[in-house]
Amino acid sequence: MIEDTALAEFRSTFRTWLRDTIPNDWRDQLADDYRGFNVWWVSAMRDAGYGPPHWAKQVGGPGLSLPEQLVIYEETTDPDCPGYPGLFSCAYTHVHDTLTLHGSPEQIDRHLKPILDAKCVWAQAFSEPEAGSDLASLKTRAFRDGDDYVVNGQKIWSTLAPHGDWAIVLARTDPDVPKRKGISYFLVDLASPGIEVRPIKQITGAENDFAEIFFTDVHIPAENLVGQENDGWRIANTTLAAERGPLAIPTALTLRETLADAVALARLQIPDDSAFAVSSLGQRYAQLHGEVEILAEMLYGTLAKFIEVGEPGPESSIIKIFLAPLMQRVSAYGLDVAGSAGHHEKGASLRDRASSDWLVNHLASWVWTIAGGSDQIQRNIIGERVLGLPRDPLVD
C-alpha cells in the first residue's frame, strides 16, 4: 500500500497503542474467559477510536478512511495481537452492513448499540443441510400469525452460534413462487422458546465454533423482519457481500505472518544463507513468498476498486480461489518443517519456538475452499460475471 506521512503516523500511533494496551498474558486470559476477553478487547479498540473499523460516525463508529481501516487489519494480524474482532465478526460486518442498508431506523437503534457495547454476539444462520451452494432452495418455513412469524426448520454451519445471543436467519415465507422470491430475512433472539443450538465438533478439535440450530414453532415478533416480506434474497446478498469484503483482508494478510513463522523454523534447520537458498526448503519458501506477495497485491488492487465502487465485485472470487489453496500450501510447509513437534506435544524440541499448532493450522486451512462459497461456485461466478460466459440455466 502507498503510505503518505499522515497514514504512516496513524500506523505508528496505533502500533504504540497496541504495544501499551495488550497484556502479555492475553493468550491465558483468552483461554480462561473466552467471551470476557473478547468483550474487553473489542471495547478497548472502540474506546480508543479504532473500532469497529469500517463503521461510520453516524452509527457510533470511528469514521476511519479505508486506508486507515487497512492499517488496523494489517497491524492486528500480528501473531502477538489477539484476533480481531473475534466473537463480534458477524455483528460488526454482516449485521451492521445489512441493517445500515436495509434495516428500519428502529432496528438500527435497537441492535447496533448493543453490538458497539459488546453486549451481543451474532451468528449467521443461512445454510441448511440441503441448501448450501444453492442457498435459495432453503426449506426453513416462516408464516405470519398475528403480530408474530412462526418458524420451523433446521440450520447448519452457523459460525459463532454456540456463543450467540442473536442470529440473522433466512426463512421461506412463500413456497408457491420461484425460490428466490419467497424468502424473508429475520433477526432472531436465540433465547426464544423452541430454539435448540447444537454445537458441532470439528476435526481441529474446536467444539464451539459451529452449530446446528433447530427451530420448533419459534415465535419471532414481526418487527424483526428486515425489509419487506419475501424480499429476503436481495437483502441476503448484502450480507454475503459483507462476508466477501473486508473480512477477507485479515485472513489473507495472516498468511504473511504464517509463512514468516514457518520460514523461521526452516532456518533453524538450515541457518546458512547460501545453503538455504539452494535447499528444497529454500526453494519452496521462495515460491510461497512470491505467491503470498502476489496475493497481497491482488488484495490491494481489489480494495482500490472497493473504495471506488463501495462493494466488492466479482474479482473477490479470483482472490478467494487463489487464497484457499495457498493457505493449504503455506500451512503444509509449516507442518513439514515443524514435523511431529508441529502438533502441540509437551517437551518436543521445536515446540516452544513454533508459535502455533501447525497440524491444526493445516486442517483449518481447508475451510476456505468451502466457507463463503466453495471454489467451484467461485469459478462459476468468474465464468459468468468476469469472463461473460453463458449462465447455467435456472430451472426453478
Closest separation in Å from C-beta 368 to ligand FAD: 8
How far, in Å, CA of 196 to CA of 210, rounded? 13
Contacts of 212 (CB under 8 A, 6+ apart): 154, 155, 156, 158, 197, 198, 200
Closest separation in Å from C-beta 305 to ligand FAD: 24
How far, in Å, CA of 190 to CA of 196, rounded? 8
Closest separation in Å from C-beta 20 to ligand FAD: 34
Of 93 and 159, nearer to ligand FAD (C-beta) is 159
**200 interacts with ligand FAD by CB under 6 A:** no
**371 interacts with ligand FAD by CB under 6 A:** yes
Helix H or strand E encompassing 30: helix 26-32
Of 69 and 89, nearer to ligand FAD (C-beta) is 89
**89 interacts with ligand FAD by CB under 6 A:** no
Residue with cell 471506488: 308
Contacts of 294 (CB under 8 A, 6+ apart): 322
- Which of these segments, 109-117, 154-162, 185-193, 255-263, binds ligand FAD (CB under 6 A)? 154-162
Going from the C-alpha of 28 to that of each of 31, 32, 115, 133, 364, the distances in angstroms are 5, 6, 25, 38, 22
The three-state secondary structure class of 242 is helix
- Which of these segments, 8-16, 120-128, 313-321, 338-346, binds ligand FAD (CB under 6 A)? 120-128
Q: For residue 345, what is its C-alpha cell?
A: 506435544
With CB under 6 A as the contact rule, the residue among 380, 382, 383, 385 that binds ligand FAD is: 380
Q: What binding mask, one character per residue, do residues 297-326 give for ligand FAD by CB under 6 A, x or -?
A: ------------------------------
Which residues form the interface with ligand FAD (CB under 6 A)?
A: 124-127, 132-133, 157-159, 367, 370-371, 373-374, 376-377, 380
